[in-house]
Amino acid sequence: MSLALKPENLAQFVFFIRGEKVMLAQDLAELYGIPVKVLNQAVKRNIKRFPADFMFQLTNDEFEGLKSQFVTSSWGGLRRARPYAFTEQGVAMLSSVLRSQRAVEVNIAIMRTFVQLRRLMDGNRELARKIEALEKKYDEQFSVVFAAIKELIAPPAAKKKQIGFHP
């Protein structure tokens, strides 16, 4: 992969699933420059290092929901198993399992990406607190403006899959 190992480039590989920021095995394997099969085998050989809060396998619904976010997906084709998702701690643990120089460089870049995303989220929380304080200070004439701003900074809500026929 010719992608520069910078947080702004790696953030596209971070997804929010089950309330956690995670990276998928196929994206990690591509960043490490190894086949997904090799990454999965290394994890399975060291499975005690990957408890449920470090790594989990996506459910069918989670995987379908994720695939539906992308019109064309390089990893959404036929698969035998649902992909694994690694939390920040799981990605850090991968560095002890994958010992190549590339793995070390990628893990450092990924850790920096998670830190930058955390700072960004904290900044949005602070902004939300300031808006709320302003909202209390001023009367209702600005409530529509404040509601629109809150909607813009809120994280996107997970779309629920509709059941049945809807025209």
Per DSSP, the residues of 74-130 read TT-S--SSPPEEE-HHHHHHHHHH--SHHHHHHHHHHHHHHHHHHHHHHHHHHHHHH
pLDDT of res. 126: 74
pLDDT of res. 44: 93
| pTM confidence score | 0.60
Grouping H, G, I as helix, E, B as strand and the rest as coil, residue 160 is: coil
pLDDT tens digits for the chain (167 residues)?
455 666 666 778 888 888 888 989 998 898 888 899 999 999 999 999 999 999 999 998 888 887 766 644 454 455 567 899 999 889 888 878 887 777 777 777 777 777 777 777 777 777 777 767 666 666 555 666 667 777 777 766 666 666 666 55
- What are the C-alpha distances in Å from 52 to residues 75, 87, 116, 148, 160? 23, 9, 24, 38, 25
Rounded CA-CA distance 85/83 in Å is 7
pLDDT of res. 167: 58
- 8 A C-beta contact, residue 28 and residue 91: yes
Question: Which of 59, 101, 98, 99 minimizes the C-alpha distance to 81?
Answer: 59
- What are the C-alpha distances in Å from 128 to residues 131, 150, 155? 5, 7, 12
Which helix (H) or strand (E) segment holds residue 17: the answer is strand 14-17
